[in-house]
Amino acid sequence: MNHRRMKKQKKIVLGTLASAILLIVALGGFVYYKLTSPFFNIQETVYIYIDDRKDYPDLLLQLQSTAKIKDTGTFRKLANALNYPQKMRTGRYAVTPNLSCKDLLLNLTRGNQTPCKITFNNIRLKNELAENIGIQLMFGTAALQQKLNDPSVCAKYGFDEQTIQCLFIPDTYEMYWNISPERFLERMKKEYDHFWTPERLEKAAEIPLSPVQVSVLASIVEEETVMPDEYPQVAGLYINRLKKGMLLQADPTVKYAVGDFALKRILYTHLEVESPYNTYKHEGLPPGPIRVPSIRGLDAVLNYTHHHYLYMCAKEDFSGRHNFATTLAEHARNARRYQAALNRNNIR
């Protein structure tokens, strides 16, 4: 009797244990599925941004609004188990449609960011440069402005506050979103040195211009014409004037000095403005670029067209192209045609 009872109890214990094991396995499988299956209701990759001001509740809100997280509770439990809320790391993190909760948290805890592509081009002023780049990276506009206006920082890279824009070669660069301003400038110096190859340096020396002077001249060339195919010809004209010791008399430098790039007609009052950037009054190149020149503009100066032109005037058809002249008399005729066209169109 006792033997039969013990056998029955043993079956009950074994059955209970088996049920418990099955339950544990089932729960484990369910948890594993929850942690490793797609965890976000999105159709394409989105990005989570964590800066040094964002806290854990802010992150949860971003996961809900941007990544459409399926189960915040599961994420919180796993995050707490990994002690993640106490050791958040800044960065830009990709959330793909098939990403699991486990993999996202591993990326977050390890700081496995996705690089971003930073692009800047067609920029004039230094504050515009800082804003354009700053809004694309974690450090923001103000931090970069402070660096670009710091004489010691500029000098570190071989520039001053008026020429620091020459450091930046417009292009698209891949880097991490949370890069520091210091590391960013180091990267730009590396790209600058990469651009200024021995061949380019040799061409600059033959003109002769320094790399900074090439950038300054290229900035004037790009403001002078909207037609890139005219860049080498315009560059050649200004190089001719520099070699003859003539004033550049470049209208874009007057617009820069006046502070109005939208001027359609340069008047005598504009030509009298006192500024080192007014090349109608001051000989040689201005002290800094009037825009951040493109690679095409820089190479146009280095590979300028050899000719005898000394004067240029916008064509009277407003095509954006120019009439070039070797003599002042020829230039005066071109200028009269252009002035007449301005008058006919009531452009003041």
pLDDT computed for residue 18 by the predictor: 44
Query: Among residues 201, 202, 203, which one has the least CA distance to residue 192?
Result: 201
Nearest 10 degrees: CA dihedral of 260, 277, 304, 313? 50
pLDDT computed for residue 348 by the predictor: 67
State the sign of the Cα–Cα–Cα–Cα dihedral 173, 176, 180, 186.
negative
Would you say residue 260 has pLDDT above 60? yes
Of all residues in the chain, the percent with pLDDT exceeding 90 is 76
Would you say residue 135 has pLDDT above 70? yes
Would you say residue 88 has pLDDT above 90? yes
Tell me the pLDDT band of 335, cut-offs 50, 70 and 90: confident
Q: SS3 of 118, please?
A: strand
pLDDT computed for residue 319 by the predictor: 84
Domains of the chain by start residue, with CATH: 37-114 (3.30.1490.480), 122-195 (no CATH), 198-307 (no CATH)
Question: Mind listing the pLDDT tens digit for each residue in 28-87?
Answer: 444 444 555 688 999 999 999 999 999 999 999 999 999 999 889 999 999 999 999 999
pLDDT computed for residue 339 by the predictor: 87
Question: Mind listing the pLDDT tens digit for each residue in 103-115?
Answer: 999 999 999 999 9
pLDDT computed for residue 275 by the predictor: 94
pLDDT computed for residue 17 by the predictor: 52
Would you say residue 274 has pLDDT above 80? yes
Question: Mind listing the pLDDT tens digit for each residue in 182-241?
Answer: 999 999 999 999 999 999 999 999 999 999 999 999 999 999 999 999 999 999 999 999
pLDDT computed for residue 236 by the predictor: 97
Cβ count within 10 A of residue 319: 10
User: What is the Cα–Cα distance from 129 to 123, expressed in whole angstroms?
Assistant: 6
Tell me the pLDDT band of 99, cut-offs 50, 70 and 90: very high
pLDDT computed for residue 318 by the predictor: 85
Type of residue at 337: R
- CA angle 272–231–170, rounded 5-degree value: 95
User: What is the Cα–Cα distance from 68 to 41, expressed in whole angstroms?
Assistant: 5
pLDDT computed for residue 38 by the predictor: 82
Tell me the pLDDT band of 21, cut-offs 50, 70 and 90: very low
Query: Among residues 336, 328, 126, 305, which one has the least CA distance to residue 225?
Result: 305
What is the arithmetic mean of pLDDT over 270-285? Answer: 94
Residue 265 main-chain phi, psi, to 5 deg:
-140, 120
Tell me the pLDDT band of 4, cut-offs 50, 70 and 90: low
pLDDT computed for residue 31 by the predictor: 46
Q: How many residues does the chain have?
A: 348
